[in-house]
Each structure stands twice: as C-alpha cells, then as structure tokens.
Amino acid sequence: MKILKKIIVLFIIFMLTGCFDYKELNNLAIITKMAIDKNGDEFEVSFSIENTKSNTESNIIYTAAGKSISEAINNIQLTLPKKIYTGHLSIIIINEELAKNNLNQLINYLIKSKEYSQNFYLALSKDKSSKETINEISNLETKLSKNILSDINNEITFSDFLKTLIKPGIDPVLPVITIKDNTIDVSSTLALFNNYKLVAFSNENQSKGINLIYNKTKEMIIPIKSDNKNIATIKLSNINTKTKIKNNTIININIKENYTIKEINYEIKKQTINEIKNKTKNEIKKLIQEGIEISKNNDIDIFGFGNMIYKNNASYFNKIKDTWGTEFKKINPNIKINLITDDNLQQTTIKENNNS
C-alpha cells in the first residue's frame, strides 16, 4: 500500500513537467473585436488587441490574409509575440461579400472551435470593409476611452443568430454598423438574410418597424406633422409587442405603449389631442407595415411567423415549408395599437404674447 502511494506521488511529480493547457496571463493577446472580410478569393481577418503596455493607445489592430479563415488567423499568430486569446471577444464584424457567399463557412468555423466561448455579437459593415470599421471604432474608443460597444442595445448574439438560421420558418437579421459623427449607430439599418445569403438592407423607417415587431425598442420618438409648421413630438416608452397566432393563418400583433407629448410648437386643444393620438397610431402602423413589406418583397420571413405556425401545428407547416417564402406574402397581420397616456399631461402651454 505504501509502495503504491509512493509510485503515485512520483507519477504526479513527473506529470508536472508539462502542463498543456497552461497559459500565463501576460502571454495572451486579449482580443476584443474581430473583423472578417472577404475580398475576392481571400479572407482577411483583423484583430483589435488590447494594449497592456503603453498608455497612449488602448487598441492595436493586426491584419492578415489567407485562403481560409483559420489560415488568416494563423498568419496573424505568426506575427504576434503573444498567443491569441478570444475568450473575451465581444463582437465580430463581417462585410457584405462574406455575408453573401461564405456565411456557412464562417458559422461552421465558429461552432467547431472551442476557443470562442463567450457569447459575442455579430454585425455587418456596409459599403466599407470591416477592417475600416474596426479602425474607426478603435479611434473612437481611444478618444472617449471606454468600451463603446456596451452602450448599443440592438445587438444580436451569436446564439440568437444561430437559432434564427437553424429554425424552420424564420430568417436571420443582422444589424449594420455605421459610424456617423463620433457615434456608433447600430439600429438604423438592418441586413436581411435568406437562409445563408444576404439579400437586402432596410432603411430607417423599415428598421424602426422591424425593431418594433421584435420588441427590441423600448423608447421611440416620433414627430407628427399636422401642417407644415406644426410639429408635435411624441415620445413612446415602455413599448411592449406581442405577436400571437390563431388558426394557422391569422397573426395578431398587439403593441402597448406609454404615450406622452414631449414637445409641441402650437396650442393644444381638446380635439387636437385625439387627433394627435390617431395620427400617432397611423404612423406606427405605417412603420410596421413598411417593415413587413420589405420582408415580403424579398421572399423571406424575418419575424418568425412561420416558426409560430410550426409550433402550433407542425404537420401543417411541414407541408408548406418549402414554399413558405411565397406563402408568407399572403399573410396580413392584424395590428392593434394600445396607447396609454400619462394622466398628468400638462395641458396648458405658455402662450406667446402676440401683443407688442
């Protein structure tokens, strides 16, 4: 018994000589953002690495190209003295060409590799390569010295994106990063996919409508024009959207929100309040219908109505699964909007003194 214990202790001591997964902290290149471009035949990968030595810049960008994503990453590793660590990756930005052609390859690479363990966001970069986008983001972060990506709220995580890819009856959507005047804007354009291919971009109103249906916006500000000069600015808060399905073909969208008139540059009378309310409802309906229309125009269903039908009645859905893109065009959802006003609406305004 004692001999066995001694043998085991010796074994342990021998095993200590090689610890295979051991990584020291200062030997890691901590990567926060990754950009993957496809230019022609080649993949170009850029990493934004946290700088832990000097205090001037907080991020450094490294780029390399290769025939496949892993080869490009390997090429970066060859130039880096530290070992690449992607455990704290927060966002991956891809460009249009990759989204049109090689999304499948990227997704499979990300699933199989064990090193991307955290849930990161995915975004698209339009009209620019993602390398330039990452460059601009890093410059902004150095100036404003904080992690800007923590403020955006329209993010789609990788697992959500995967779910929309794999599930039947729903098509994926990715936000598009645009940088205007020192701010990062993720909600004004959305990229729409059909299966694994990028098919369209949505403009601002359509994106607003799509986000309303997804229940992702919590607040919105809508200007309502009564004449060319008189604009009432409405603030909607606590927006809550529920989508329900009935009888396999009817879809009801119920939106409930709190409604306040933020700013108004003309006098409020009792009739105008109701008028403003109705106009608000119409505006919202218009936004939603625009969102649904762009989805119909591209033969895709980005809202998951097909998935809801599948969950209700899988056999019925399985019959129409292959032509769901065209079937979706027949669906006109009923939109019900419920506006809750704050009761302490300031009814009086300070009138302009027209005398003198």
Partner 1 sequence: MKKIKIFEYDCMLFFLTQGFSLISLNIYTKNVKTDAYLIPIIGTIIGIIPLLLFTKIKEKNSKLNINSLNIKIFGKIFGNIINTIFIILAFIIGAYIFFILTNFISVEYLYKTPLNFISFAFALPTIYILTKNISIISRSIVILIFIEIILFITSSLGLFGQINTHELFPIFQNNISEFFKTVFLHVSFILTPLFFLNIFSKNEIQNSKNLKKHTIIAYLIGNIVFFLTIFFNISILGIELIEVYQYPEYEVLKFANIAGFINNLEPALAIYWMINLFSFIVICFYYSKKSILQITKFKNTNKFNIFFSCTVLIICLLSNNIFKQFSITNLFIVISFIFICIIFFLWIIKNSN
Partner 2 sequence: MKINNQINEVEKYIKNKYGSSSDIITRRIKINDNEILYIYLESVSSDDKISGFLMKDLSKYVNNQKEIKTPLINLLKNSILNSHLSIIDTYEQVFYNLSSGYTIIFINGEKNAIAIETKSILDRSISEPSMESTIRGPRDCFTENNATNIGLIRKRIKDPNLWFKETKIGKRTKTKINIVYIKNIANIKKVKFIENKLKKINIDGIIDSGYIREFLTQNSLSAFPEFRSTERPDVATAELLEGKILIMVENTPQVLITPGLFIDFFHTSEDYYQKPINITFTRILRIIGFFITLCTPGLYVALTTFNQTIIPYELLISLSIQRNGVPFPTSLSIFIMMIVFEILREADIRLPNAMGASISIVGALVLGDAAVSAGIVSPIVIIIVAITSIGSLIFNDIDFVNAIRLWRLIFLIFSTVLGIPGFVIAGIIFTINLCSMESNGIPYLTPISPFYPKAQTDVITRFSKKKMKYRPVYLTKNKKRIED
When asked if residue 266 is in the footprint of partner 1 (CB under 8 A), the reply is no
The kind and range of the H/E element at 272 are: helix 270-297
> Least distance from C-beta 333 to partner 1, angstroms?
17
Which CB atom, from 49 or from 308, has the smaller least distance to partner 1?
308
When asked if residue 23 is in the footprint of partner 2 (CB under 8 A), the reply is yes
Runs of H (alpha helix) within the chain:
2-15, 69-79, 96-101, 103-112, 130-144, 158-166, 204-214, 270-297, 305-312, 314-320, 324-327
Binding range to partner 2, per CB under 8 A, among 9-17, 204-212, 232-240, 274-282: 9-17
Q: Of 288, 272, 276, nearest to 223 (Cα)?
A: 276
CB 252, CB 246: distance < 8 Å = yes
Chain centre to alpha carbon of residue 23:
33
When asked if residue 216 is in the footprint of partner 1 (CB under 8 A), the reply is no
When binding is defined by CB under 8 A, the residue of 4, 19, 78, 350 that contacts partner 2 is: 19
- Show the site string, 72-91: x = touches partner 2 by CB under 8 A, - = not: -------------x-xx---
Site for partner 1 in 2-31 (CB under 8 A): 4, 8, 11-12, 15, 20-21
Runs of H (alpha helix) within 85-125:
96-101, 103-112
Half-sphere exposure of 23 (CA within 13 A, CB side): 13
When binding is defined by CB under 8 A, the residue of 126, 128, 163, 329 that contacts partner 1 is: 163
How many residues belong to the site for partner 2 (CB under 8 A)? Answer: 22
Chain centre to alpha carbon of residue 163:
14
Residues 6+ apart with CB under 8 A from 77: 83, 84
- Interface ranges with partner 1 (CB under 8 A): 1, 4, 8, 11-12, 15, 20-21, 111, 114, 117-119, 159, 162-163, 166-167, 308, 310-315
- Interface ranges with partner 2 (CB under 8 A): 12, 15-16, 19, 21-26, 28, 30, 32, 50, 52-53, 85, 87-88, 117-118, 147
